[in-house]
Structure 1
Amino acid sequence: MRRRLIQSTLAVVLVVIAVFGVSLVIVETRTISNSAQERVESEALRLASIIDSRVLAEEKVNANVLRNPVGKDQYVLITMPGRAPIEIGTKPQGDVIHSTQHGEEGETVTVQEPRSSVTREVGRTLLIIGLVALLAVVAAVLLAVRQANRLASPLTDLAETAERLGSGDPRPRHKRYGVPELDRVADVLDSSAERIGRMLTAERRLAADASHQLRTPLTALSMRLEEITLTDDPDTVKEEANVALTQVERLTDVVERLLTNSRDPRTGSAVTFDLDEVIQQQLAEWRPAYRSVGRAIVSSGKRHLQAVGTPGAVAQVLAALIENSLMHGGGTVALRTRVTGNQAVIEITDEGPGVPADLGARIFERTISGRNSTGIGLAVARDLAEADGGRLELLQAQPPVFGLFLSRTPPARKPDEPHPTVR
């Protein structure tokens, strides 16, 4: 591209120089020729006037008297009645420019000048025109190279940016070039880079959330299947199989919710449900795990509370908090329900050391963990709570008390929207 830009610029300059240069040469040649002819004619008239004045004054008219006014390249022939011709200068050979004038006293003055003098002057003019044209070409080359670099370099940068986007590096460059069209392309590429970066971040976040949220129901399902393999009692097998089926349904709900959140994190299916059912379900799922480490999990507080939200999402939030107490807490884990204003609150506490002072409210940030864990469990739990219009807070650091706040008022429905049902 750079070479084509230089070639096209040079072609335009050369065409302009050729058109105007040829026209200028023709005009200057004619001008110089006309000036030489006028100079010879003017010289002949001047000499005729001098001769007339000297004849009238009865002064001598000879070559010595008239030599000084005559140019060195000119030849003059003067003829007067009754006198010998007077010659001044050397008669030129070849093509000449000449003029003949007649005086009032009958004299004839002929002035000749070799055309070579005109040729020399034309040559000097052509040399000047050629030098100017050469300077114009050099200036055009420099300008063309500068413009080519100004246009080609940004295109190279933009191509590299597009290649980086294609190779998975979505960092915007925020580089502009002072050319509106190229800056527009750079704006589009930077916007695309930011969108791709957000998409990649969302995909990574989805993968991390899926890994964390699927781990708990899979672990519970594995425990139920182990119980089945260790017993021969048909009733126990049937009971554990029913619980396993419940876990499979919950696992399906988690997958569906993950896919929904990947499209729109605020898209939920909030309904009015009984908190006791979700809490008792979590107690039943986690008691074996707590029993295996010599700990207990209990519930207390106000019963038969109705809350608005997605039961599956609330169950995942409680599971994340219960698992967090199992991994980082100690002693008995208690789930207490209460009412504050128009909100139902579930508090989860244990008898462990609590949240370190250096973490504080940062406990809900991703990658923040008091121990060697993923650090995304509480962040995912808060996102799930907020997606249902609730909130998850750390009410007390030591001993740790987490509070899940859920609205008790059903969301406003559109006129054509059907009543939600609990799955």
Structure 2
Amino acid sequence: MLAAAVTGAVLVALLVPMALLIRTVAENGALSRATSAAESVVVAVGTPDLPLAVERMPVPATVFLPDGRVLGEPAPVSDAVRLAKTGRSVTAQAQGGREVLVSVRTAEGPVVIRVFVGDAELAGGVREAWLALGLLALALVVLGIVLADRLALRVTRPVGELARLSHRLAGGDLSARAEPGGPPEVESVGRALNHLAGRIGDLLEAERESVADLSHRLRTPLMGLGADAESLRDPEEAARIGARADALERAVSAVIEETRRRADRDAAEAVTPARRPSCDATSVVRGRVLFWSVLAEDQERAFTIELPDGPAEVAVSEGDLAACVDALLGNVFAHTAEGLAFAVRLAATATGAVLTVSDDGPGFPAEFGERGSSGGGSTGLGLDIARRTAQASGGGMRVAGSAVELVLGRGTGAG
């Protein structure tokens, strides 16, 4: 549309004056031929050959003699003819065209030679010229639109490819790459986007390897902790510490396996969406509270647990939900005084379940914030783990006083 508008404006500015010039040239040519025909009779004025010269004229002509006689084509005596009889040659507008009047002085008086030029002759060839100009303008507009479309496609196609590539990268397909093309600027953007995708992949791979390496390094002190537990004289204390060391080692092993599987899983999910994980929240919460109950007895903490009578399916993997419950209960034991009671309540809902962990402590401080800032002297990562777990299931997290409420859903979303 822009090309059509610009081309049309240029053509109008160029062709309108040209069309007017063509009409003027055509009129001037017709009048010039009429004047030449009238002047060809002038040499015969005053001689006996005048009637013959009038008959041989290539165009119809009229000669007004001083004695009132009229030779040639009959014509009315107009104001222009009267003006010409005073000795002036004129060209005047007449009905249906124009009349060219040439005045010749003789001894008997002025002789006026009149040649009439009709409108058709005045516009001879003008319509054809205008039609040719119109067809030329139309052809130029169409050509401009076609060329503009080709040039626009050369830009929009690579930009569209870059948009599709960005969506693939956002979907987790870090192997997606663009074929640089189009104008230099668009090609530069494509190369930069390819570089960015490669850099993101390298950073993620480095992060996974760092987590796996760090987790692997933890195995050595864990093995030492297990050996120390076996050397304790109290069998019950040795069994308890050994069980915790084993649980910690299993958690570290799970972290190593998860980080090493994530790359392949992300690539597969970019092509085919993975099946949504799910678990029975009732079973997981019961098991984690049972695990923490040993420490609760050591710290003389009273606790209550409320669970549904049946299973409560939520869109969270068993490992993620267990880590979420551990993070919430870990906060209770880490940030409240020994002896303070806590409660765990899981309620099944039509869309999932609601998990509430509360304690008798002072509650969360007013400056409680987001990830990395809990306001309680900790990293705040525990609550962030709980929040992300709930949001991944289609729910969310609410904090009120000393209670944390997680809404666990069965679909994707953020609450």
Q: TM-score range by the shorter chain?
A: 0.3 to 0.5
TM-score (norm 1): 0.41
Q: Which has the higher contact order (CA 8 A, sep 6+)?
A: 1
